[in-house]
């Protein structure tokens, strides 16, 4: 197969982790006789510095034409500490999600056999966890009306959802559940928020189309607790943009490190693959960041092109690196810490 992939390294550790995912993907392509053409493009603070905006039109062109997008990370402390900055790197990511129509963010949570004891949570609670948080990505409070009033002394952000936005996400959730554990949990705050009541109403109306899926409804505050208390109780969770953002960081604790969690963002056309972690500016340029979340995001990419063996080869080599202790400092615990690039080289060779 021939794949044209847009490569958006972004900021901070983005370029370093992306390099490793490219190495590993190229090794897989070679082994299974595929051809990958990578087209790099600018985004984030790097793009602001070069052309004044975080998701330039040229970058959008590259993404829209590609078969898929592999993305590193976005964000720079220079902007975090300046709330008045008009142009921010994160706007690039949001604009990209919106312009590419990436409404469904798939964030799987699973455990790695060799890391179960690295999690701060007890082994018996988390071992065997296998759930997906399907986060709505182009609506809600991230994209609702916002502003300031009263000479800047009042600020507001609105959570707006339209029925079709909920329905298309829920449909993906139902379809995923059918192929997995056949359970779907709609996570909201319907005891308080009108937008959440529309979520419930919409999902309830769809239940009869999927008689084989067991549907439940839970409040997000309760899920924040249950998710780490008994993650094995969940199969597919569907939830609004902001709730999903928060719950997926929390869920990463189950697998042992933020540096391990991949994701995909799906729409109707081109899909995007990215680690769920941020740009980790403190580590930028030091060759110490964990590249596995990005490498595993590449595995999700292969899987979505129906290249299952290829995806499995990546997952297997990642498991092997963890089992053999070929890991970066976030996971090395006193034993030898490998560099980001060394982990990438090792994975590529062992593919």
Question: Which of these segments, 22-30, 242-250, 309-317, 342-350, binds Mn ion (CB under 5 A)?
Answer: 242-250
Can residue 245 be called a binding residue for Mn ion (CB under 5 A)? yes
Can residue 136 be called a binding residue for ligand IPM (CB under 6 A)? no
Shortest distance in whole angstroms from residue 135 CB to ligand IPM? 8
Shortest distance in whole angstroms from residue 103 CB to ligand IPM? 13
Can residue 11 be called a binding residue for ligand IPM (CB under 6 A)? no
Apex CA 274: angle with CA 25 and CA 281, to 5°? 110
Can residue 90 be called a binding residue for ligand IPM (CB under 6 A)? yes
Q: What is the DSSP annotation of 102-124?
A: --EEEEEEE--GGGGGGSSS-HH
Can residue 330 be called a binding residue for Mn ion (CB under 5 A)? no
Q: Are 112 and 296 in contact (CB under 8 A)?
A: no
Q: Which residues pair with 266 in a beta bridge?
A: 104
Decide: helix, strand or coil at residue 234: coil
Question: What's the sign of the alpha-carbon dihedral 60, 65, 66, 67?
Answer: positive
Residue closer to ligand IPM by CB (options 23, 97) is 97
String marking each residue 177-216 x if it binds ligand IPM according to CB under 6 A: ----------------------------------------
Q: Is 19 annotated as a binding residue?
A: no
Segments of 220-333 assigned E as strands: 236-239, 262-266, 271-275
DSSP 136: E
Shortest distance in whole angstroms from residue 245 CB to Mn ion? 4
Burial 226-251 (b: 16+ CB within 10 A, else e): ebbeebeebbbbbbbbbbbbebbeeb
Q: Is 135 annotated as a binding residue?
A: yes
Catalytic residues: 142, 189, 221, 245, 249
Can residue 10 be called a binding residue for ligand IPM (CB under 6 A)? no
Contacts with 164 (C-beta within 8 Å, 6 or more apart), sequence order? none
Mark the binding-site residues, compressed into ranges: 97, 107, 135, 221, 245, 249
Binding footprint of ligand IPM on the chain (CB under 6 A)? 74-75, 90, 93, 245, 276, 278
Binding footprint of Mn ion on the chain (CB under 5 A)? 245
């Amino acid at each position: 197969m021939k794949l044209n992939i847009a490569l958006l390294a972004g900021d901070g550790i983005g370029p370093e982790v992306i390099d490793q995912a490219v190495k590993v993907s190229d090794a897989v392509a070679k082994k299974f006789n595929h051809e990958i053409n990578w087209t790099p493009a600018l985004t984030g603070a790097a793009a602001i510095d070069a052309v004044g905006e975080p998701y330039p039109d040229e970058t959008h062109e590259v993404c829209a034409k590609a078969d898929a997008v592999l993305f590193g990370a976005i964000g720079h402390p220079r902007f975090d500490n300046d709330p008045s900055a008009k142009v921010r790197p994160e706007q690039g990511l949001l604009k990209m999600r919106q312009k590419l129509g990436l409404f469904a963010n798939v964030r799987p949570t699973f455990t790695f056999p060799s890391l179960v004891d690295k999690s701060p949570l007890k082994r018996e609670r988390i071992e065997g966890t296998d759930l997906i948080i399907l986060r709505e990505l182009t609506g809600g409070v991230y994209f609702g009306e916002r502003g300031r009033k009263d000479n800047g002394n009042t600020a507001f952000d609105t959570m707006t959802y339209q029925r079709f936005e909920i329905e298309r996400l829920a449909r993906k959730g139902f379809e995923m559940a059918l192929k997995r554990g056949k359970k779907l949990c709609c996570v909201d705050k319907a005891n308080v928020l009108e937008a959440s009541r529309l979520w419930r109403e919409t999902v309830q109306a769809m239940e009869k189309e999927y008689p084989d899926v067991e549907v439940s409804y839970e409040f997000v505050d309760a899920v924040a607790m249950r998710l780490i208390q008994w993650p094995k109780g969940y199969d597919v969770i569907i939830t609004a943009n902001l709730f999903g953002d928060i719950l997926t960081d929390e869920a990463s604790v189950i697998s042992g490190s933020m540096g391990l969690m991949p994701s995909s963002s799906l729409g109707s056309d081109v899909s995007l693959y990215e680690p769920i972690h941020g740009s980790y500016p403190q580590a930028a340029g030091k060759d110490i960041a964990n590249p596995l979340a990005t490498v595993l995001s590449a595995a999700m990419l292969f899987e979505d092109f129906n290249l299952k063996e290829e995806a499995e080869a990546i997952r297997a080599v990642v498991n092997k690196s963890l089992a053999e202790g070929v890991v970066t400092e976030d996971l090395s615990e006193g034993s030898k810490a490998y560099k980001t690039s060394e982990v990438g080289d090792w994975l590529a060779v062992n593919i």
